[in-house]
A = this chain, B = another copy of it.
Amino acid sequence: MSGEEQVLERIERVRRRKPRVREELVTLAHGAGGKATRTLIEAVFLEAFSNPLLAPLADGAVADGLAFTTDSYVVTPLFFPGGDIGDLAVNGTVNDLAMCGARPSYLSAAFVLEEGFPVEDLRRVTASMARAARDAGVPIVTGDTKVVQRGKADGCYITTAGVGTVDPAVRLRASAARPGDAVIVSGPIGEHGVTVMLARGELDIEADLASDTAPLAGLVACLLDACRQGEVRCLRDPTRGGVATVLNEIAGASEAAVVLDEDAVPVRPAVRGACELLGIDPLYVACEGRMIAVVDPGAAPAALDALRAHPLGAGAAVIGRIAQDPPGLVLLRTSFGGTRIVDVLVGDPLPRIC
């Protein structure tokens, strides 16, 4: 075996190594959506719950024409420009169903409330959930409420789950991207994360920003209608960990490269400015009303037109392509003509963003 072959083999061994959680205690990084989260999920949850439906670790599980998904919301603060934990919890679960290609049918909502939480705030949150559910056309049909003592929560945590129906002809999978495919984002990125960060008031930045939280099921329906069967390879909403993390998942699952064009990625100036001050890359900042679509190159123009014709996709843009090499990596062609690897972060500079 040549030296190069030995190196490649060693890399392959590392890649295939069983994920291990090295920490003895859970850290905030384990909840950040990056590498630590992935390791925790693979080494603990997937190890314990092992089954073929869970294994793809997609936004939801799909079987027998049914999609099923859940998310807990622990965002702080509870209220921020453009939304609150309530519409976030509804839109987030609606979007996870939409990313599976499902039409959302029903939602559940379970609350963990901290003793002393103002009833008036709970009314605001539930009113906002009701509005979001109405906008998404999906009823909240079942729920639960628990109360814990002061100091055992942070006002209000919400867990929503959602059930939807999937047309069996629609098969969206992170593993379906093929070299040549177009990578599309439905609008400017990073607004949710930056807005929540600024709403914490820890930084003295004023910016005219609002969360992008929105239900994407309608937008997905328009996109799927505009393309032929199989032309939309996969959809993901870039929440925790942002666009960079989602694209790494697609690159990994499809054993292909994602080559991004930095100039093509839509970022509003206020987001770009805040990110520069915060020292973070917008590619890692959560969106809550945007999606990434990987689409057959021939279908890309029709897909883009369909997205742009919808109010939630007005800012859609092709931001890159799928390439053969190097498999599993996301590359960024920078404005200066260079190329750099866009890796997954271990932690996240923005905890409790959703």
Also in contact, A27 and B142, with CB within 8 A (given A44-B122, A72-B110): no
Chain B: minimal CB distance from A337 (Å): 39
B40 A145 Cβ-Cβ under 8 A: yes
A49 B161 Cβ-Cβ under 8 A: no
Interface residues as binary, A13-54 with B (CB distance below 8 Å gives 1, 0 otherwise):
000000001011111111110000100110011011111011
B163 A26 Cβ-Cβ under 8 A: no
Q: Which residues of B contact A119 (CB under 8 A)?
A: 21, 23-26, 40, 44
Nearest residue, chain B, Cβ from A23: B119
Interface residues as binary, A183-194 with B (CB distance below 8 Å gives 1, 0 otherwise):
000000000000
B142 A61 Cβ-Cβ under 8 A: yes
Q: Which residues of B contact A25 (CB under 8 A)?
A: 115-119
Chain B: minimal CB distance from A40 (Å): 7
Tell which of A28, A31, A69, A147 has the most Cβ of chain B within 10 Å: A147
Interface residues as binary, A65-92 with B (CB distance below 8 Å gives 1, 0 otherwise):
0101111111000000000000000000
Nearest residue, chain B, Cβ from A120: B24
Q: Which residues of B contact A130 (CB under 8 A)?
A: 48-50
Known pairs A51-B139, A146-B352; list 13 more (Cβ under 8 Å). A25-B118, A26-B113, A26-B122, A30-B147, A53-B142, A66-B163, A70-B144, A72-B111, A74-B152, A147-B351, A148-B157, A152-B153, A163-B163
Sample of 13 A–B contacts (CB below 8 Å): A26-B117, A27-B147, A41-B145, A44-B122, A45-B145, A51-B141, A68-B142, A68-B161, A70-B142, A71-B110, A71-B144, A72-B144, A112-B112
What residues of chain A have their CB less than 8 Å away from a CB belonging to chain B?
A: 21, 23-32, 37, 40-41, 44-45, 47-51, 53-54, 60-61, 63, 66, 68-74, 105-106, 108-120, 122-123, 126-127, 129-130, 133, 139-149, 151-154, 157, 159, 161, 163, 351-352
